[in-house]
Amino acid sequence: MTEADIDAVAGVRVRGRQAAYQGLMPRAYLDAMSVAEDARQRRERFRRRRPGVFELVAERCGEVIGRVAVGPVRDPDVALEGGELRTSPPAGELLALCVEPGPIGTGVGRALPADGTDRARAGGFGTLYVWVVHGNPHARRFYERAGFAPDGAEEAYDVAGRRVAELRYRRRPAPAA
């Protein structure tokens, strides 16, 4: 992904979230999502992303239809123990995955995390983690088919006055061929 992809990625992200989180997040919140505002935030985050984070886009006929971001795990209980890195090799995290709602079921969603896993392994990451909205059985099945399994960690956050619970999943990347 390059900075030139940000506007297209913002559109995919907003449309993807609006489709994936219907009934899980307040409708007014989803309807108020703005591609322009998301692009502004993406641009700011892209410029100051942490070392070790990489982002890939999927394109079809020259149009961005998906994005995956992978980097060092953010969860202190996984990453640190007494201030020192706890895992060797260090753990990674699937930080973001979004796909244009139209091509769902065409393999784009499977290809992006597979490419992200390959990049994570090449970047020296071991176990990969991802947070999944608890009430989204489609996403949970998707990650389970990709080899992820819940590890027991849960957290919740507020979205426009509604609590949204997430489960943490993990998987070990396959050894390099």
Q: Give, in order, the Cα–Cα distances in Å from 52 to each of 34, 47, 71, 103, 165.
A: 28, 13, 5, 29, 27
Question: Is the residue at 38 inside a domain?
Answer: no
Question: Is the residue at 43 inside a domain?
Answer: no
Question: Is the residue at 2 inside a domain?
Answer: no
Question: Is the residue at 157 inside a domain?
Answer: yes
Question: Is the residue at 162 inside a domain?
Answer: yes
Domain of 72, CATH number, reads 3.40.630.30
Question: Is the residue at 7 inside a domain?
Answer: no
Name beta bridge partners: 130: 169
Question: Which domain does 156 fall in, by range?
Answer: 51-171
Q: Which residues of the chain have pLDDT under 70?
A: 79-88, 103-105, 173-177
Q: Are 98 and 12 in contact (CB under 8 A)?
A: yes
Q: Report the number of distinct structural domains present in the chain.
A: 1
